[in-house]
Amino acid sequence: MGRRLGLDALAAVVVVGGFWLPLTLSAGGWRTGAGLVLGAVAGAAMLLRRFAPVPAIVVAALATGAGGVLGVSQDPMLAAAWCLYPVAVERAGRAHGPVIAVLGGLTLLSATVAVPGGGASVIVAAVVLGGAWLLGTAAGRLARAAEAEERARVQAAVAREVHDVVGHALAVIAAEAGVARMVSGSQPQELCQSLADVEVHARDALQEVQLLVRTLRDLPTAVAPARERLLAVVAASRAAGITVRATIDGDLPEPGGTVVVRVVQESLSNALRHTPGAACTVDVRPGVVRIHSVGVARPDPGSGVGLEGLRERVELAGGELRCVAPSAGEFLVTARVPV
């Protein structure tokens, strides 16, 4: 705000000093006093344009018109145009009819400016006011387009996070619930263990969703190292009933570490959902992640939403994702992620 107010003050000094003071100081008598007051009013309107834009436009235009009639101003509506610009930015693409009427009225008012070449001054004033409006609306539309693009980017990122976190947790919980249902009558100890695992995975998923919400709200967050989260994902997948042989070589610095975790998480979730009882090999090395799944049941084709979101995540991190099916019942995911 301070920087913007300083810019407004500089513009006011330039306009009043360049287009008011020369005629005002040479006018003499009471007109000099009137010119100083009117110039101060126009400058104040330029300073207050961000707080009361529409009144500032009217005040600046009236002061400029009065100054032109008294012969103490050569301002071709620059003060009014300066006040008009933020209104154009805010209302870009809206209220064209009323705005055209206002601009027409201000242009007619500028016709009262009594300077040599009055007809030319009217044209200049119209160009100045119209140019301020066109520049403001263009800037406003660009700002709205950038906001919409950023909003879409955030929404896509949130959708990917929710899909990965909740999808993996629900896949694990569903598998644990299936185990609990099968052992409910004959093996009470295993039943209790399965229910305990369900509780743990549900709590973990809830914590990750809460972490996501805190991140979106720009609240302080504490995230475990990527290697620890990756080991937890592997352990949860094993507990849910799939065989996972994991090799993790080296550290996983951020932000690439989180991408690696999501790649492994989504791949193991897909194996758990679509090929129950699958055997998976997870190989994580600096910059490269490979997950090879071999299903023991007929694979259930998914929607592809998870893999598409995963590809977007990897590409946004500057990496590359490849998904291939070497043969029936097999699936290979290879990701190259800068870490």
Q: Are strands 288-294 and 320-324 parallel, antiparallel or unpaired?
A: unpaired
Are 261 and 229 within 8 A, CB to CB?
A: yes
Dihedrals phi, psi of 294, to nearest 5 degrees: -125, 115
Q: What is the pLDDT of residue 183?
A: 58
Task: Report the alpha-carbon distance of residue 32 to residue 30 in Å, rounded.
Answer: 5
Q: Which domains does the chain have, with CATH numbers?
A: 2-146 (no CATH), 225-339 (3.30.565.10)
Q: What is the pLDDT of residue 248?
A: 87
The 10 Å CB-count burial string (b at 16+, else e) for 54-77 is eebbbbbbbbbbbbbebbbbbbbb
Q: Are strands 279-285 and 243-248 parallel, antiparallel or unpaired?
A: parallel
Tell me the one-letter amino acid at 117. G
Q: What is the pLDDT of residue 108?
A: 54
Q: Which tokens is 137 given?
A: 């609306």
Q: What is the pLDDT of residue 318?
A: 85
Q: Which tokens is 169 given?
A: 């947790």
Dihedrals phi, psi of 275, to nearest 5 degrees: -135, 75
Dihedrals phi, psi of 72, to nearest 5 degrees: -115, 10
Q: What is the pLDDT of residue 261?
A: 84
Nearest alpha carbon to residue 263 among 168, 175, 330, 181: 168
Task: Report the alpha-carbon distance of residue 229 to residue 239 in Å, rounded.
Answer: 15
pLDDT digits (tens, 9 = 90+) for 20-41: 888 888 878 888 888 889 889 9
Compute how many other C-beta atoms are within 10 angstroms of the C-beta atom of residue 116: 7
Q: Is the peptide bond before 253 cis (omega within 30 degrees of 0)?
A: no
Are 285 and 249 within 8 A, CB to CB?
A: yes
Q: What is the pLDDT of residue 50?
A: 83
Q: What is the pLDDT of residue 143?
A: 83
Query: Which residues of the chain fall short of a pLDDT of 50?
Result: 111-117, 219, 297-299
Task: Report the alpha-carbon distance of residue 334 to residue 145 in Å, rounded.
Answer: 35
210 class by beta-carbon count within 10 Å (0-12 exposed, 13-18 middle, 19+ buried): exposed
Residue 281, helix vs strand vs coil: strand
